[in-house]
Structure 1
Amino acid sequence: MHLGGLLRAYHDAAATFPWTGREWQLEVRRPVETICHNDLSPGNVVFRAGVPVALIDWESAAPGPRAWDLGYAAWNWVPFSSEERCRAAGLPTSIAEKARRFRLLVDAYGVEADVGILRTGIERMRQYLDHLWTLVAEGSEWEVRLARRGVLDELAHEIAWVEDHAVALVES
């Protein structure tokens, strides 16, 4: 996966950025190893000839651990989703295939597949879901509509599925 190499190059470059004394839209996550993009979804990547070549949409960037971005990227790109959700999207459904794709991503990044990266992705998704529920409680129209359509409940189901299969997603 070329995305892993692109993310590693960005993280390496951003690791020397002087981050203290600045305001960030999102909270600083410890340990600070780099500036995380914090939203590595397919919609925030520029492609040339099908290959990821650039990251866009930086308003969520903030200091944090490399695994925070890597786990979230794996969640979106492997993707770490239940068989039902993958089947509905026409994506591979087997845990073994998801584990293989995870290894491709982290290999391209230059690290070993590790359940810690996956658990960091779970933590990131829990944080995102909590944020969405906060917006619902505040009456944000978009998030209220998402909640009414069951999208937030679906995300909670997906998080639980990944938690239940975390070890297999790394070791298969």
Structure 2
Amino acid sequence: MAHARVTTVGDRVHRPAGWWTPTVHALLHHLRDVGFTRAPEPLGVVDGQEVLGFIPGASGAAGWQRVVPEAGLRALARLLREYHQAVAGFVAPADARWALADGPARPGQVICHGDFGPWNVVWDGLTPVGLIDFDFAQPGDALDDVAYALEYVAPFRDDVHAMRWQGFDSPPDRARRIAVFAEEYGLATVDGLVEAVIRRQTTTAVHVRALAERGLEPQRTWVAQGFCDELADRVQWSTDNQALFTSPPAG
């Protein structure tokens, strides 16, 4: 769900700003102030472009291969735990505007990253050195970020997709990968995680439609091209294949 038209000039990244950018920059300042230096440094907004400090490393599609090994999967889970710990003290202003919500977090909520996947991590080998693209940060249950990540890293996709597009050389042991992620993040149990992922998959479609209605790209094009049907198919596949996530693969 990332935005296009991102350019890097020297040690600065220029990205399209949105109505959420001032609130996100306040969040980024907080993260760096409390010692979470893997968030980009916010440098302001110029001519409709937000300017951020560049974090060198591998990101985007290169991230998929990094979470296939268990060491990379664990590192991703630790990054999410450390982000949630760092963001816990952030109090957004009452008039905070996020891409998909308004206002500060309520008691019991955190500011979720909202798009926490290996493509939005900057990697040095199997070590995450940056967490980027906070456009869809918003107040929510920390478990929402966990579930969002698990959809992609368990993954909640069939074996063909996992091996063709996500770098697995054999069918993934999804149940173990969920357990590993949960353990490293700090959850006491995996109970309810599969259901949480399916709920989060359903929410993703709601978010895509909401952003499309606000005129954002690529979401507007996705809706026009029927992408929400694919999102519904993903929910159905996850629902129909829940046994894959609670037992080791056959063979």
Q: Same fold (TM over 0.5)?
A: yes
Query: Are 1:44 and 2:120 an aligned pair?
Result: yes
Which entry has the higher C-alpha Rg, 1 or 2? 2
Higher relative CO (Cα under 8 Å, sequence separation at least 6) belongs to: 1
Q: In the alignment, what sits opposite 1:12?
A: 85
Q: Residue deviations 1:67-116, cap 9 Å, x none?
A: 1100001112222112343244253674x701111111111101144242
Q: How many residue pairs were aligned?
A: 171
Whether the aligned pair in 1 keeps the contact of 2:174 and 2:245 (CA below 8 Å) is yes
Alignment counterpart, residue 23 of structure 1, candidates 86, 91, 96: 96
Q: 1:136 to 1:63 in 2, by over 3 A?
A: closer
**Percentage of matched positions with identical amino acids:** 31
Structure 1 counterpart of 2:168, one-letter code = L
The whole-number CA distance in structure 1 between the counterparts of 2:187 and 2:143 is 10
The whole-number CA distance in structure 2 between the counterparts of 1:21 and 1:163 is 38
Query: Are 1:125 and 2:198 an aligned pair?
Result: no
Q: 1:11 to 1:137 in 2, by over 3 A?
A: closer
**Matched position secondary structure for 1:47:** strand
The whole-number CA distance in structure 1 between the counterparts of 2:247 and 2:185 is 18
The whole-number CA distance in structure 2 between the counterparts of 1:148 and 1:14 is 35
Whether the aligned pair in 2 keeps the contact of 1:39 and 1:72 (CA below 8 Å) is yes
Q: In the alignment, what sits opposite 1:33?
A: 109
Structure 2 counterpart of 1:12, one-letter code = Q
Q: In the alignment, what sits opposite 1:161?
A: 237
Structure 1 counterpart of 2:242, one-letter code = A
The whole-number CA distance in structure 2 between the counterparts of 1:109 and 1:131 is 25
**Larger relative helix fraction:** 1
Query: Are 1:3 and 2:82 an aligned pair?
Result: no
Whether the aligned pair in 1 keeps the contact of 2:92 and 2:105 (CA below 8 Å) is no
Alignment counterpart, residue 91 of structure 1, candidates 142, 157, 168: 168
The whole-number CA distance in structure 1 between the counterparts of 2:106 and 2:153 is 24
Alignment of 1:45-124 (within 5 A): 45-89=121-165, 90-91=167-168, 94=171, 97-124=173-200
Whether the aligned pair in 1 keeps the contact of 2:178 and 2:190 (CA below 8 Å) is no
Q: Specify every segment of 5 or more residues in structure 2 that has no aligned partner in the other structure, as ranges.
A: 1-73
The whole-number CA distance in structure 2 between the counterparts of 1:47 and 1:133 is 31
Name segments (4+ residues, structure 1) moved above 4 Å: 28-31, 134-141, 147-150
The whole-number CA distance in structure 2 between the counterparts of 1:111 and 1:18 is 24
Q: 1:130 to 1:29 in 2, by over 3 A?
A: farther
Question: What is the CA distance between 1:50 and its match in structure 2?
Answer: 2.5
The whole-number CA distance in structure 2 between the counterparts of 1:53 and 1:129 is 30
**Matched position secondary structure for 2:155:** coil
Deviates more, 1:150-159 or 1:41-50: 150-159
Structure 2 counterpart of 1:75, one-letter code = E
Whether the aligned pair in 1 keeps the contact of 2:117 and 2:152 (CA below 8 Å) is yes
The whole-number CA distance in structure 2 between the counterparts of 1:151 and 1:117 is 25
Structure 2 counterpart of 1:10, one-letter code = Y
The whole-number CA distance in structure 2 between the counterparts of 1:7 and 1:45 is 10
Q: Specify every segment of 5 or more residues in structure 1 that has no aligned partner in the other structure, as ranges.
A: none
**Larger relative strand fraction:** 2
**Matched position secondary structure for 1:57:** coil
Structure 1 counterpart of 2:123, one-letter code = F
